Chains A and B, each alone.
Chain A
Amino acid sequence: MPIPIPAEIGRANQHDVRIRWNDGHESVYLACDLRLACPCATCVEEMTGRKIVNPLSVPANVHPLGISLVGRYAIQIQWSDGHSTGIYTFENLRRLCPCPQCRPAGKAGS
């Protein structure tokens, strides 16, 4: 029942985010993918869950300017395109992990 929580949230490179989880797993998120996965109400339609953010409106070199904790269950990311309303829960971040182990071939991408 206890969901994994991050032990460390840092950079994988200049722009991308790396999370080391407390169960040993490691996730590397491409900054742009993470931005497009923003779960906030202006990016995702609340009732249907349909994605409404226009990928073309997000600059390809979008990257986090800062990351802060929300309580003890989530993080908030201040993006370079000015967006910051999304609350990324640990649960959701783990689900988004793009590594081959979490996303076996054929199921890649979200």
Chain B
Amino acid sequence: MSPAVTEAVVLQALQKVRDPDLGRDIVSLGFVKDLQVRGANVAFTIELTTPACPVRDKMKEEARQQVATLPGVKQVEVTMTSQVRAMASQRLLPGVKNIVPVASGKGGVGKSTVSANLALALARTGAKVGLMDADVYGPSIPTIMGIREAPRQVGNKILPVEQYGVKVISMGFFIQEDQAVIWRGPMLAKMIEQFLGGVEWGDLDYLVVDLPPGTGDVQLSLCQQIPLTGAVVVSTPQDVAIKVAQKAIMMFQKLNCPVLGMIENMSYYVCPHCAQREEIFSSGGAQRAAERLKIPYLGAIPLATAMRSSSDNGRPIVLSEPDSPLAEAFMRVAENMAAQISIRNMQGQLIQDIQITF
């Protein structure tokens, strides 16, 4: 005769399962939902803070095992879901839970390619994702995402173009290809305001913002107009790039925008003929810089011809070669980034904590 299984016993067992990123057990984090005990059958749902959770499968198996080994339990059914936590309520974009700018110190580090692939990688996990191309001077997101249509306008709002499951807005939609944007600061601020408040983003888990390189007006306007979840800084590995990337990090720290981490792009090249790994721009520079600056390192993306050609052809690598090592690298980086966002939002030293009662 087996002892009766109770909810309390199951919860106690599940307290042994920890979320490695948040550093607490899944019961006290409130992840365990819909717990049902019917005789020897136990069913429950684990609600994660992001569908892009890097330890999703491991956690599911661990939870299942913890409960399955309880005396009296015959069958365990674990359902995994996710509910992305919002960074804070903000008035400008009430439906957007997290705004993540992708920045770089200098140009040419592949920031737009990284932004597009990160957005697609997040969308692939099931998250609702938007991609805002704030690089006014060289908007390349329409090319990389293969978008030819123009956004429609409904009332006084602009509808983003939906491509590959991601909602996209870009300066490139509003200018001819042979036109140049030669704007002063106030106009850039106005554009950022339009792209945030004037666009019907709807409900989004993540809004990825592709910034122009550097530490100028667009970055400042974005940080002033809306509380950002945290910035991601892309750099190539060589010293000269890392040094400039540090300035971007310093800018975000000065503006009290958390830095979610650093990504090393063009980290190394694997020769398709002899499979030898060549470190063209040296390697590991971003990781060392991240350690020194005490910010998370989100991962490395290799240099590859397929990356360039997929971007030029308007079908980013995460989409065109989903099983390739390149796409895998992006999935890992996106997961690490989503984990950092969850950590920030759960720990929360957030803007919503600032009360103004004047």
Contacts and interface: CB of A to CB of B under 8 A. Distances in A.
Interface in B276-335: 294
B354 interface: yes
Contacts of B223: 71-73
A10 B357 contact: yes
18 contacts: A1-B253, A2-B349, A5-B256, A6-B354, A7-B353, A7-B355, A8-B355, A64-B358, A67-B356, A69-B227, A69-B354, A70-B224, A71-B255, A71-B257, A72-B227, A72-B351, A73-B256, A89-B254
Contact of B256 (A8, A67, A72): A72
A66 to B, nearest CB: 7
A79 B356 CA distance: 16
Contact of B254 (A7, A69, A73): A73
Contact of A1 (B227, B257, B294, B354): B294
B157 to A, nearest CB: 23
Nearest to A77: B358
Given A7-B354, A67-B356, A71-B228, 11 more contacts: A1-B294, A5-B354, A8-B357, A9-B358, A10-B356, A11-B357, A71-B226, A72-B228, A72-B257, A72-B354, A73-B223
B236 to A, nearest CB: 25
Contacts of B255: 71-73
Contacts of A89: 254
A69 B223 CA distance: 11
Contacts of B350: 72
A56 interface: no
B28 interface: no
Contacts of B227: 69, 71-72
Interface of A: 1-3, 5-11, 17, 22, 64, 66-75, 87, 89-91
A68 B256 contact: no
| Most chain A beta-carbon contacts within 10 A, residue among B255, B351, B356 | B356
Interface of B: 223-228, 253-257, 294, 349-351, 353-358
A92 to B, nearest CB: 11
Contact of A11 (B226, B349, B358): B358
Nearest to B88: A72
B224 A10 contact: no
A3 B258 CA distance: 12
B259 to A, nearest CB: 11
Contact of B354 (A9, A11, A64, A66): A9
A70 B228 CA distance: 11
Contacts of B349: 2, 5, 22
In the complex, the 3 A-B pairs of residues with the closest C-beta atoms, listed nearest first: A73-B256, A10-B357, A67-B358
B185 to A, nearest CB: 12
Contacts of A74: 224
Contacts of B355: 7-10
A55 to B, nearest CB: 23
A75 B223 CA distance: 12
Most buried by A among B223, B225, B350: B223
Given A3-B256, A71-B226, A71-B228, A17 B353 contact: no
A23 to B, nearest CB: 11
